[in-house]
Amino acid sequence: MTASERQSHWQNVYLNKGERQVSWTQFDPQPSLGLIEKFAADLNASIVDIGGGASRLVDALLAHGFAAITVLDLSDAALESAKARLGEQGGSVRWIAADAAAWQPPQAFDIWHDRAAFHFLVEAKDRAAYIDRLHAGVKPGGHAIIATFAPDGPEKCSGLLVQRYDPESLSRTIGSAFELVEHLGHRHVTPWGAEQSFQFSVLRRR
């Protein structure tokens, strides 16, 4: 799938489906929030949420006092939904409509968070492009928190194939520039009550 095809797919999803009609919706963004709080040095830590879309993680980060938040997503419609929900409160957030596998990070961040974006990159060239951005986008000593479907999770999401990982296979894929420092399993319940198996891995930039 090309970058333009990915952008078109996700734009259509967010234009045509509401929050309760997509499987990834969380009204309480755990365990992402807890992991960010654990690994961020303080409330001034720079955080980028990759594929953040209309996620409510940004709401929770703002409510907890984090001051340097960037949200990146392929879909303008997803970002506009989040901005409309937050109103003036979202004025301090940097919103970026871009493909994480083609974007050029404007800085290196303390925390790179990705819940269920990387696992859509099923072609090696797209994974390699993402990992190049990851290397540029995380400070030495900073952390990448990457959540994907686990080996017993779904094989598809939103009609697209995904690449499933356990923490060890994800760490090997990301490469030796990052050290796996923590991982956990998570059972996500969709808005219609189905369960999905995720793994969350925390990788420290060497």
Could you tell me which residues come within 8 angstroms of residue 135 by beta carbon, excluding any fewer than 6 positions away?
177, 205
pLDDT tens for each residue of 3-57: 678 777 777 767 776 666 787 889 999 999 999 999 999 999 999 999 998 999 9
Residue type, 85: R
Helix axes 167-174, 124-137, angle to 10 degrees: 80
pLDDT tens for each residue of 96-124: 999 999 999 999 999 999 999 999 999 99
Q: Where are the domains of the chain?
A: 3-205
Nearest-angstrom CA–CA distance, 187 and 153 = 9
CATH superfamily placement of domain 3-205: Vaccinia Virus protein VP39 (3.40.50.150)
**Percentage of the chain with pLDDT > 90?**
86
